[in-house]
Structure 1
Amino acid sequence: MTPEMENAFAAIRNEYGPDSIARVEEMMAAGKQQRHPLQGGAKWILPGISQQPWHDPYGHPELAPVVHAFESHHAAVKKELEDAWADRRTAFSDYEHYLSRQSDWQALYLFRKGALVAESAESVPTAFDVLKREAVDTGKLCPLLECHFSTLLPGASIAPHCDLWNFSINLHLAVDIPEGCGITVAGETRTWQEGKCLLFDYSFEHEAWNRGPRPRTCLLVDLWHPETTVPERQALVALITAIRTLMGEG
Structure 2
Amino acid sequence: MEISQSVECWWRGLQLWYNDQDYMHAIVTWEEAMGFISWANEELFVDTSLKNSAIQERTYLTLHGDTASLSELSPLLLFLAGCYLDAQEYRKARVTLRRCLALASIDAERDSTSNKNDLFHRTIRECIFYVEEDPECLKSWREARELIQYAIKVDQQSEKERLSEIGEANSVPWSDPWQRPGFLYPIINQESVYDRLSHPSWCRLLEERWGDIRNEFHRLIHRPGGARTLSASPRHWPAVGSGVHRGGAGAHDGSVVAPGGDWREVVIFGSGENPQLAPFTSELLEQACPDAVSLARQGGGEIVFSVLAPGTHIRPHCGSTNLRLTAHLGLVIPEDNLGHKRCSIRVADQWLDWEEGKIIVFDDSFEHEVINERSTLRGVLLLRFWHPNLPKEERGIALQKALDAKSDDELQRYSPPSPSNDRPMMLRAMEKSRCTLCSRHGYSSIRLDTRSLTFQCQCGQSITS
Shared fold per TM-score greater than 0.5:
yes
Residue 73 (str. 1) matches residue 209 (str. 2): yes
Aligned to 2:327: 171
Q: CA deviation at 1:104?
A: 0.7
Q: Deviations over 1:76-122 (max 9, x none)?
A: 11111111111064762101255242571010111123x8x2x332x
Q: Which of the residues 373, 376, 379 maps onto 1:214? A: 376
Greater helix share, structure number: 2
Is the Cα contact below 8 Å between 2:334 and 2:374 reproduced in 1?
yes
Residue 125 (str. 1) matches residue 125 (str. 2): no
Is the Cα contact below 8 Å between 2:303 and 2:382 reproduced in 1?
yes
Q: Aligned AA for 1:49?
A: I
Q: Deviations over 1:103-149 (max 9, x none)?
A: 71010111123x8x2x332x322221122112226877453211101
Residue 107 (str. 1) matches residue 246 (str. 2): no
Distance 1:105 1:139, change over 3 A: closer
Q: Aligned AA for 1:51?
A: Q
Q: Aligned AA for 2:192?
A: P
Is the Cα contact below 8 Å between 2:292 and 2:385 reproduced in 1?
no
Residue 56 (str. 1) matches residue 195 (str. 2): yes
Is the Cα contact below 8 Å between 2:329 and 2:357 reproduced in 1?
yes
Aligned to 2:96: none
Aligned to 1:232: 394
Task: Give the SS at the match of 2:289.
Answer: helix
Question: C-alpha separation between the residues in 2 aligned to 1:58 and 1:141?
Answer: 23
Matches within 5 A, 1:1-250: 30=118, 31=121, 33-40=173-180, 42-60=181-199, 63-65=200-202, 67-87=203-223, 89=226, 92-96=237-241, 97-101=250-254, 104-113=262-271, 117=273, 119-121=274-276, 123-136=277-290, 141=295, 143=298, 144-179=300-335, 180-243=342-405, 247=410
Is the Cα contact below 8 Å between 1:58 and 1:64 reproduced in 2?
no
Q: 5+ residue gaps in structure 1?
A: 1-28
Task: Give the SS at the match of 1:95.
Answer: coil
Q: Aligned AA for 1:183?
A: I
Is the Cα contact below 8 Å between 2:292 and 2:384 reproduced in 1?
no
Q: Deviations over 1:204-240 (max 9, x none)?
A: 1110111111110111101000000112101023233
Distance 1:132 1:104, change over 3 A: same
Task: Give the SS at the match of 2:187.
Answer: coil
Distance 1:188 1:137, change over 3 A: closer
Is the Cα contact below 8 Å between 2:240 and 2:264 reproduced in 1?
yes
Aligned to 2:75: none
Q: Aligned AA for 1:192?
A: W
Is the Cα contact below 8 Å between 1:109 and 1:147 reproduced in 2?
yes
Distance 1:138 1:110, change over 3 A: closer
Aligned to 1:3: none
Task: Give the SS at the match of 2:361.
Answer: strand
Cα RMSD (Å): 2.6
Q: Deviations over 1:166-210 (max 9, x none)?
A: 120000101110024111111111100110000001111110111
Distance 1:146 1:224, change over 3 A: same
How many residues of Structure 1 are paired with residues of Structure 2 in the alignment? 213
Q: CA deviation at 1:64?
A: 1.9
Q: CA deviation at 1:157?
A: 1.2
Distance 1:55 1:127, change over 3 A: same
TM-score normalised by length of structure 1: 0.76
Task: Give the SS at the match of 1:92.
Answer: coil
Distance 1:91 1:125, change over 3 A: farther
TM-score normalised by length of structure 2: 0.42
Is the Cα contact below 8 Å between 1:112 and 1:147 reproduced in 2?
yes
Question: C-alpha separation between the residues in 1 aligned to 2:395 and 2:291?
Answer: 15
Q: Which moved more, 1:237-246 or 1:167-176?
A: 237-246
Greater strand share, structure number: 1
Q: 5+ residue gaps in structure 2?
A: 1-116, 122-171, 227-234, 242-249, 336-341, 412-465
Is the Cα contact below 8 Å between 2:240 and 2:251 reproduced in 1?
no
Is the Cα contact below 8 Å between 1:135 and 1:141 reproduced in 2?
no
